[in-house]
Every structure is written in C-alpha cells, then in structure tokens.
Amino acid sequence: AAPRPAHGCGSGALLGRFGVLLQALLALCAFSTLMLKRFKEPKAERRPWRIWFYDTSKQAIGALFIHFANVFLSDLTEEDPCSLYLINFILDATLGMLLIWLGVKVVSWIVQHKKYTSLVFGEYGDPPQAAAWIGQCILYLLIMVFEKTVISLVLLIPGWTKLQQILLGYIPNPQLELVLVMFVVPFIVNAIMFWVVDSLIMRKYKQKDTLDISGSTETPRARRTEESQVLLSPDMDFDQSESDQDISGLWGTNQKMKQPSYQVVI
C-alpha cells in the first residue's frame, strides 16, 4: 500500500474527539435551517410541529446514513480521509441530489398509481399516524441507499486520487483541513440540500378551489361574481326602485284615466 501523504488528516481523524465535536456542531447548525424554513412558510400553510417533525426526521435519518457511509468509505484506503470525504460529499451534493430528486419522483408516482395513500410523502392522515411516518421513512431511506450505491460506483472510476491532491493538498494544517471538510463546506451545502429536499417531500398545500360558507360550496369564479353583484347592488336597487316608481306612477295615471267620471246634479 502507498504510504499516507504527510499533509491531510490522519487515520481515524474523522471519528476523533475534535471530529465528533465538529459533526455535532454541523448537525445543530444544518438542521436549524429547517427550523428557519418552517417560520418562513406562510402562516396559513405553516406545518404543525408534529407534521414538521415527521417531515424533517426523514431527512435526519437519510443524512445520518449518508454521513456515516461517507466516514466509513473514507477510511477504507490509505488516502487522505478528509479529501476522500470531501469528494464523497461533493458528489452527494451534485449527482446525488439529482438521484434523490429522481427517486422521490419515481416513488411518488408508484405510490399514487398503486393508491397507497399512507405512503405519499407528507401525508400522515388525520389525525397524523406514526405508521404512515415509519413507512415513508423506510421509502426515503431506500432512496438514500440507492443514491449512495450509485455514488460509490462512480468513485470506482480511476482518476479521483489526483482530484484529492488538488482539493486539499495546499492546506498543511490537519486541524484546519478537518474544519473545512467536516463543518464549513458541509454546513453551506447541507443547508441548501435540506431546504430543497424538504420542499420535495413536504405536503403541497394548494389553494382550494371551493370554500364552504354556511354549508354551501362556492367556486372562486362564483365568489367573484357574487362580490361584484354585492358591489353593484346599491345602484341596481336604486335603478330598480326608480323604475318601479315610474311604472307605478304610469299605472296609477292610466287607472285614473280609465275610471269613469260621474257628474252629480242637484
């Protein structure tokens, strides 16, 4: 085996005390973006805390699987584990993101075609059922296993060693390299990935076409028509009242003209 280069992380650095501290800090900061995303949602469409937990926990399980898979794969060779972890992470954030999107679309189509309503991402029933959440977690985890398998096969292509030397070869300090690999770059990329994936797997709130008002159902078009009629109703009443008065006046005059006249002679 080729000797490990002088620069870069040593063996087991990713799971050392400093590495674990960075990973815990990364998890706290990255998932705080999902909290921010919830408060950015419109109040009418904001998810309850339980639904939000069900949605985000699927990402947490998938992210933990990908993270530990990358840590495991990075220590399999004699190469710098930090640079190898970074390559895995970059592939997960680019090609892997495309695979996740494709997997979510395919699984969603199959679930809707088979009419497995409890497995539709973001739908947990009313009231929310833990069984639906568990089923969706399993589906999402299968998507992540598919994504990581494809990325691992891509890494078997020769030429990645040269890219490893280019990425972090100019950083002489192993601690600085570990901070860049395990916190700075993953935080930026994970924040974007979590935001995008959460939008993919959350329930899509669409504007309802009907509104239930006093037990009646109205379409938006009918509601707009009714509003316009309400706005025009004073003028319409005024015109109607005038026309009624005119007609009643004419009718009264005609009745007077038609009544026979009597002359009394004393």
Query: To which residue do tokens 């063996």 refer?
Result: 11
Confidence tier at 3 by pLDDT (50, 70, 90): very low
pLDDT over 70 (residue 5)? no
The separation between the first and the last C-alpha atoms of the chain, rounded to the nearest angstrom, is 146
Residue linked to tokens 């000797």:
3
The domain ranges of the chain are 13-200
Supply the mean pLDDT for the chain.
Answer: 75
* pTM of this structure: 0.66
Q: Has residue 248 got a pLDDT over 60?
A: no
Asked if 33 and 194 count as a contact pair (C-beta separation under 8 A), the reply is yes
Measured CA to CA, the distance from residue 222 to residue 217 in angstroms comes to 10
pLDDT in tens, 194-225: 888 888 777 755 433 333 434 444 444 444 45
What local confidence, expressed as pLDDT, does residue 215 receive? 43
Section 35-59 average pLDDT: 85
- Give the pLDDT mean for 120-149: 90
> What is the C-alpha separation between 167 and 165, in angstroms, rounded?
6
| Nearest alpha-carbon partner for 71 in 156, 146, 28, 14 | 14
Rg (CA), the chain: 34
Write down how long the chain is.
266
Q: How does pLDDT run across 132-142, given as a tens digit for each residue?
A: 999 999 999 99
Q: How far apart are CA 223 and CA 225, in angstroms?
A: 5
pLDDT band at 80 (very low <50, low <70, confident <90, very high): confident
List the single range of 1-15, 36-50, 84-98 with lowest mean pLDDT: 1-15
* C-beta neighbour count of 111 within 10 angstroms: 19
Q: Find the helix or strand (DSSP H, E) in which 213 lies.
A: strand 211-213
Coil, strand or helix at 266? coil
The predicted model gives 76-82 an average pLDDT of 76
